[in-house]
Structure 1
Amino acid sequence: MHQTETAFKPSLSLLDATMLVAGSMIGSGIFIVSADITRNVGGAGWLMLVWIITGFMTITAALSYGELSGMYPKAGGQYVYLKEAYNPLTAFLYGWSFFAVIQTATIAAVGVAFAKFAAYIVPALSEDHVLLASGSFKISAAQLTSIGVIVLLTWINTRGVKTGKTLQTFFTLTKLVSIFGLIAFGFLALNKGVLQTNWTNAFSLNQMLPDGSLSSYTTIAAMGAIAAAMVGSIFSSDSWNNVAFIAGEIKNPKRNIGLSLFLGTLTVTVVYLLTNIMYTAVLPLQQIATADKDRVAVTAAQVIFAQGGTIIMALLIMISTFGCNNGLIMAGARVYYTMAADGLFFKKAGTLNSQSVPAFALWIQCAFACCWSLSGKYGDLLDMISFVVVVFYMLTIAGIFILRKKKPDAERPYKAFGYPVLPIVYIVMGLAFCILLMAYKPRFTWPGLLITLSGIPIYYMAIGAKKKQLAAAESA
């Protein structure tokens, strides 16, 4: 594809931007992770508190990002904010982690989730249907379906931002209506006995064992259990910041990015809380904790809709994951575009095609996500994404304090709500989450840190290559 335009087209309205926030957040997590949360906390009250804490952190972070998005309303989002507040190395480490794990592994996992639930309708697409096996390496129909979805959505997004945004807005509105429908039918099918039992001693924090019995924690271990429980809720609430990556294509970005961040995260937080209340209204806690393959929503739908529940839920999750992946794919490529412009990524990723979108960046992201789909290791990687993501969120929010000092006179069309209290509260909560995970769930933390730190030698190699190019150009 030849490059005919050098600038992004501002085509996304406030509704489109809000739908990108909500659509990128709601994937498969809300339909699955409540099982693991319940096993960790053992009470309906604590199940809700984990989602409330996560929702508070997400909305607080989104409100803080509003200030940064108003100051730097251009493609690249968090990468740009980290570069301005700290230095190019910090920004690169984020961009490297984003490419290596955060975005591409998430795209792979959401793609495979689509395929797994599609298998309820077309059994041939099942992960159990192995097409090729060589030793421990296996390729299933679900993995190939995931790759097919990722390639299709990447191609759609190379056709221009208008095509991608139309798809995003349609699928996000459809899934929001569908989820609210599920919640409504769930409350109509409410079982008073189940609800009352679930909410008796709801705030007693224990580990729930497979037989439904409870095992008490020591005080310190209880804090570790809450942090471990939040891994799922934070993963389910992530990707809200994707809208900032695509800032160059949003109409009136100084106003609409901050507003869409708030509206999108608030909408999803409400949806998540209502969904979990609905789970506790129709399923005993033991059933939530022991749902087949953690698919809580399918178990709930079987109670609500009887035999048709599985198909209804499978269709809803297919819509949800398809729309989620469209948002992730659309937004992710803009980070690599900005990195390429700084000479820190493949040069070709910094060009736009005839439709004013970074097609090469989209395709290289596609290739990496497809590799994760084939590896079968994306599930392990997702466990550590929450840790890495929160570390960079804390750094970015701390950047607000740095930039207020470094650039006191810079234009700030929108100032962080609750500054300095709410940003500090977020940083303290994020720090507690990360420290507890490092202490009690090291397998969630060290691999992510190592992948992030592996970007340091890559950065200096890129800088060295850039200097050589400049020197060669000057001597020519």
Structure 2
Amino acid sequence: MSDQPKSFQRSFGLLDATMIVAGSMIGSGIFLVSADITRNVGSAGWLVLIWIITGVLTLTAALSYGELSAMFPQAGGQYVYLREAFNRLTGFLFGWSFFTVIQAGSIAAVGVAFAKFSAYLFPVLSEKNIVADLSFIKISAAQITSILLIVLLTFINTLGVKEGKLIQTGFTLAKIAALLALILFGCFAADKGVWDANWQTGFDLHKMTEHTDTLAPYVGLAALGAIAGSMVGSLFSSDSWNNVTFIAGEIKNPERNIGRSLFLGTLIVTVIYVATNLVYLGVLPLKEIAFAENERVGVAAAVKIFGTRGTYIIAGLLMVSTFGCNNGLILSGARVCYTMAKDGVFFKQLATLNKNAVPGKALWIQCAWASVLCLSGQYGQLLEYVIFVVLIFYILTIAGIFRLRRTRPELPRPYKAFGYPVLPLLYIVSAATICFALLVYKPMYTWPGLGIVLLGIPVYYFAWRNKS
């Protein structure tokens, strides 16, 4: 054990950190969730506005996190911020939710998305191809593919930071370039008639059905519920931007580079997401966006832009996108488990680095749990459950800025939250409003998520509190 590294190596520069932010955000969501948003809001204006609101909220949160990351430039990110601002239990409840559902569920979902789109090019990998029927569970080729992807990326990341960051930076640059190319070709393929017809809907807010063109608009609080429900997909598509904070212990000049990477990464993705939706509106009638086959708006748009080969082009892009996205999730997520273990509130065995100065054991336990979720098929439902919880923890974390300024004013703050106190407060109010609307109008998204969090309380007190 004497040759085991005692601390992380600072190997990530600003470009690497920015690519972790952008790469962890861009998965398959931008190619899928616009269908559900369009059905809920019923107009071109609100489709674009939902993505803009999501982007503004994400940017605001990212700019606020810069202050916290500069104060606590160590592995663990949001877990550390909540622990320092409030108490160890609050930090643990985030870490518990993060490990059991948020990160592992995202890894599983992105892995299965990789397999589904790989099946366009290699039909044998289809989820319809059942390779084992164990009576109590059926295992498809897609599930096996997703697990193999997770195992491969986990193994690569156990080899050291250099290998993980090469994949992350390379694949993220490739998918940003591909998305920009899709946007550019989409502009050339845009149909003015389609564009004008879509924008005739303006900013009307109503639910769309496949066989009815005009429906009564939402009234009063129902409109707020529709907007909040629509944002479930866009918020998840824009989530994981904070993953870079989990690897703060491995970033060069973290006091400055984490804040910069958060801003640059979220800005890049926000611009790409809004531009991609404008392309959808330029090539697809609104109803074809809303009722795209299997929600695959990106595939429908690519067919309009590139012809029949568009399906294969978008499938290839999605394979690159989800591969890079999962690498970022796997690389960063294990650092939270490691930091919790160091604090004595998680498995003690995970509080070690391997000979390559990465948390190898934490990577493998994360891999095992994400693989179980792949087999269970419940990752999608779990992710829907926790969007409310994700927002609650973001609200608490940004509220922590206000609390720390009052309780620990002596701490060095080389970077201060942009627009403080107005922008952080704006985020808290906006996110709280969305949470309230979800609580009232989408209870299926809220109560199960709260249950998962609350389950962490007895786990903390009865299993981990006295461990060290």
Query: C-alpha offsets along residues 323-351 of structure 1, whole Å, 9 cap, x if unaligned?
Result: 00000000000000000001111111110
Matched, 1:305 2:306: yes
Secondary structure of the corresponding residue to residue 133 of structure 2: strand
**Any conservation in 1 of the 2:107–2:326 contact (CA below 8 Å)?**
yes
What is the aligned partner in structure 1 of residue 73 from structure 2?
A: 73
How much does 1:139 deviate? 1.0
After TM superposition, the structure 1 = structure 2 runs for residues 453-472 of structure 1, keeping only pairs within 5 Å, are 453-466=454-467
CA apart distance, 1:464: 4.8
SS of 2:414's partner is coil
Partner of 2:410: helix, strand, or coil? coil
Aligned residue for 1:473? Answer: none
| Residues 106-125 of structure 1: pairs in structure 2 closer than 5 A | 106-125=106-125
What secondary structure sits across from 1:387 in the alignment?
A: helix
**What's the CA shift for 1:211?**
2.2
* Mapped contact 1:3–1:352 kept (Cα < 8 A): no
After TM superposition, the structure 1 = structure 2 runs for residues 16-415 of structure 1, keeping only pairs within 5 Å, are 16-135=16-135, 137-211=137-211, 213-216=213-216, 217-415=218-416
Offset of residue 461 of structure 1: 1.8
Residue type of the partner of 1:300? Answer: A
User: How many Å apart are 1:463 and its aligned residue?
Assistant: 4.2
In the alignment, structure 1 residue 418 sits paired with structure 2 residue 419:
yes
- 1:234 positional shift: 0.2
> Which moves more between the two structures, 427-436 or 205-214?
205-214
By how many angstroms is 1:282 displaced? 0.2
For the residues of structure 1 that align with 2:372 and 2:2, how far apart are their CA atoms?
A: 27
Match of 1:474 in 2: none
Instruction: Summarize the Cα distance change of 1:277–1:2 in structure 2 as closer, same or farther, 3 Å threshold.
Output: farther
The 3-state SS of whatever aligns with 1:82 is: helix
* Residue in structure 2 matched with residue 9 of structure 1 by the alignment: 9
Q: CA deviation at 1:2?
A: 8.5
CA distance in 1, matches of 2:5, 2:227: 50
Aligned partner of 1:226: which letter? Answer: I
Identity %: 63
Deviation at 1:137, TM superposition (A): 2.3
Structure 1 gap ranges (5+): 470-476
Aligned-partner residue type, residue 204 of structure 2: S
- Structure 1 distance, partners of 2:308, 2:386, is 36
Number of matched pairs: 467
Q: Provide the residue aligned with 1:472 in structure 2.
A: none
SS of residue in 2 equivalent to 1:207: coil
Contact 2:119 2:125 in 1 (8 A): yes
What's the C-alpha RMSD, in Å, of the aligned pairs?
Answer: 1.1
Secondary structure at the residue paired with 1:215? coil
Report the CA distance shift for 1:153/1:214 in structure 2 as closer, same or farther (over 3 A): farther
* Deviation string, structure 1 residues 112-132 (Cα, Å, up to 9, x no partner): 000000000000101111122
Q: Secondary structure at the match of 2:462?
A: helix
Aligned to 2:417, the other structure's residue is in SS state: coil
Indicate if the aligned counterparts of 1:119 and 1:125 stay in contact, CA closer than 8 A.
yes
Take 2:210 and 2:103, find their aligned partners in 1: how far apart are those partners?
33
Counterpart residue type for residue 382 of structure 1: L
Amino acid at match of 1:297: G
| 1-structure distance, mates of 2:3, 2:153 | 21
Aligned-pair CA distance for 1:135: 4.3
For the 8 Å contact 1:212–1:286, the answer to whether it is kept is no
Map Cα deviations across residues 59-93 of structure 1 (whole Å, 9 max, x no partner). Answer: 00000000000000000000000000000000000
- What is the Cα deviation at residue 97 of structure 1? 0.1
Native 8 Å contact 1:235 1:385 kept in 2: no
Q: Distance in 2 between matches of 1:201 and 1:297?
A: 21
CA–CA distance in structure 2, aligned partners of residues 16 and 212 of structure 1: 48
Residue in structure 1 matched with residue 440 of structure 2 by the alignment? 439
2:40 is paired with a residue whose SS is helix
Give the letter for the 1:307 counterpart.
Answer: T
Q: How far apart in 1 are the matches of 2:194 and 2:172?
A: 32
2:344–2:465 contact (8 Å) kept in structure 1: no
1:2 touches 1:354 (CA, 8 Å); kept in 2? Answer: no
Q: Which amino acid is the alignment partner of residue 102 of structure 1? A: I
Q: Please state whether the residue corresponding to 1:208 is helix, strand or coil.
A: coil
Mapped to 2, the partners of 1:228 and 1:149 lie a distance apart of 31
C-alpha change, 1:348 and 1:3, in structure 2 (3 Å) is: farther
- 2:340 partner letter: M
Q: Which moved more, 1:230-239 or 1:381-390?
A: 381-390
The answer to whether the 8 Å contact 2:346/2:464 transfers is no
The alpha-carbon distance between structure 1 residues 283 and 136, as it changes in their structure 2 partners (threshold 3 A), is farther
Deviation at 1:439, TM superposition (A): 0.6
How far apart in 2 are the matches of 1:325 and 1:162? Answer: 17
* Contact kept in structure 2, 1:116 and 1:127, CA below 8 Å: yes
Q: CA deviation at 1:262?
A: 0.3
Please tell me whether the aligned partners of residues 10 and 252 of structure 2 are also in contact (alpha carbons under 8 angstroms): yes
CA distance in 2, matches of 1:57, 1:158: 34
User: In the alignment, residue 116 of structure 1 is paired with which amino acid?
Assistant: K
Q: 1:309 to 1:463 in 2, by over 3 A?
A: closer
Query: In structure 1, how many angstroms separate the alpha carbons of the residues matched to 2:126 and 2:412?
Result: 53
Residues of 2 paired with 1:136 and 1:41: CA distance?
Answer: 40
Instruction: Give the aligned residue type for 1:325.
Output: N
Letter in 2 for 1:91: G
CA contact (8 A) 2:345 2:465 kept: no
SS at match of 2:132: strand
TM-score (norm 2): 0.98
Structure 1 residue 382, shift from structure 2 partner: 1.6
